[in-house]
Amino acid sequence: MRLSLDGFRAGLHPGTTYRVAFSGGLDSAVLLDLMCEVRRVSGIRLSAVHVHHGILPAADAWSRHCAAVAKEYGVALDILRVDGRPGPGESPEAAARNARYRSLEALLNPGDILVTAQHLDDQAETLLLQLLRGAGLAGLAAMPKAAPFGPGILHRPLLRYGRRDILAYARNKSLRWIEDPSNRDEHYDRNFIRRRIMPELAVRWPAVAANLARSAGHCAEAAGLLDKQADILLATATAADEPGSLDVGAVQRLHPDEQRLLLRRWIRKRGLRVPPAKLLDRIRRELIETAAEHAPAIAWTEGTVRRYRHRLYLLPLAADFDASWTAAWSGETPLTLAGNGGLDAALRPGPGIDPDKWRSGCITVRYRRAGDRLEPAGRKGHHELKKLFQEAGLPPWLRDRQPIVCIDGRIAAIGGSRWLASEFAGCPEGVNIVVRWTPEPVMDRRNGSDAATQP
């Protein structure tokens, strides 16, 4: 398909503020030029962003090139420096991509549209990669043209155009771009497919890229229909009293295929990548089919699925909390808890801490320690926190996360105001200090929603 301004503009996701992901390569050079043409005729707000991965020696020169090109166009450029080095067990491609998208997502404001330069051949290569990895429908759907991305939208306006069309446009406009030498390294799977496999396929099937991209579109349509079915299953299996969890009994009544569909959707909607098929089936067999007396858990690189009292819980990987940690708190301004949300306190009608004792005491916050006991308001006798948590049905992995508010070194409240100490409790019918705990949210990387780590 011939690449023209009119055709490109007609396929552009509607909006007023666009940010161009500008690497300096051929594809993004064409994308930036086209977006500047759109700005000229329609007056959109436009800026560019370049991600400096800090891996190759030429990275600084590429940043300077991008800055010079952006200046020629009169476009503001943000240069984001990230650590794109792979971690243990992580591929270099995945590490660079993840670092790049995290930094780009953090840059966006609500309503911003991030435009990236993936094209028809990239789509075809992605489908082949996913096939060779044994991906399901969601993977075979490859890259959507537009999708929610943090507070904004990620848009790929060049997906209809092939590499030849993009190159022809660049040459016609006499554009300048960078040739990344790593694109010739066939140790990378995508480069091997691009340089070895696709040319051979194109000899026999000249329209191979367009055909594969069309197949990806069919897979995306089918995946969307399955997602709608999965949402129906999810609505019936979600525990009414704990919206973040699944009712094991309801899941058990489903066919195994429906259970797998449900689990995949549940995990994706929390913004986590679905575990491999074998591990997903372990979750189904060991946490759903088996009657467990203890609290079993299955973890993978993204998170953990746990079962407790006929409920399934999904949690991100989180570090243990330091029992020796203590923080002073004025009680007047919110207190941030590292990796665990935050606390705030205010006068409100109903049960809470006596305001006089709150104002006259020294307030500190900590986590559970061995030997902690509490006499709850309205009950006689001191009880171990473990027993109180068990009575309340609090899952074991959430017990050490409960922030404990102390006054003059003695426990006054736990988990916000979920448990109040009798010695500090005010009159339940009066106006008292109510401490609220807002747990750390788990951000959904696709749709911008969040789900608390506490059910």
Binding site per annotation, positions: 23-28
Contact by Cβ (8 Å): 198, 109: no
Which parts of 361-449 are beta strand (E)? 363-366, 373-374, 383-384, 404-407, 410-414, 419-420, 431-438, 441-443
Q: What is the DSSP code (8-state) at residue 145?
A: S
The rounded distance, in Å, linking the Cα atoms of 357 and 421 is 12
Output the known binding site for ATP. Answer: 23-28
CA 270, 274, 279, 281 dihedral sign is positive
The rounded distance, in Å, linking the Cα atoms of 44 and 36 is 9
Q: Which helix or strand (DSSP H or E) is residue 45 part of?
A: strand 45-52
What one-letter code names the amino acid at 125? E
The rounded distance, in Å, linking the Cα atoms of 34 and 29 is 9
β pairing state of 373-374 and 335-336: unpaired
Q: Which helix or strand (DSSP H or E) is residue 166 part of?
A: helix 163-172
The rounded distance, in Å, linking the Cα atoms of 287 and 308 is 9
Helix axes 208-237, 120-132, angle to 10 degrees: 60
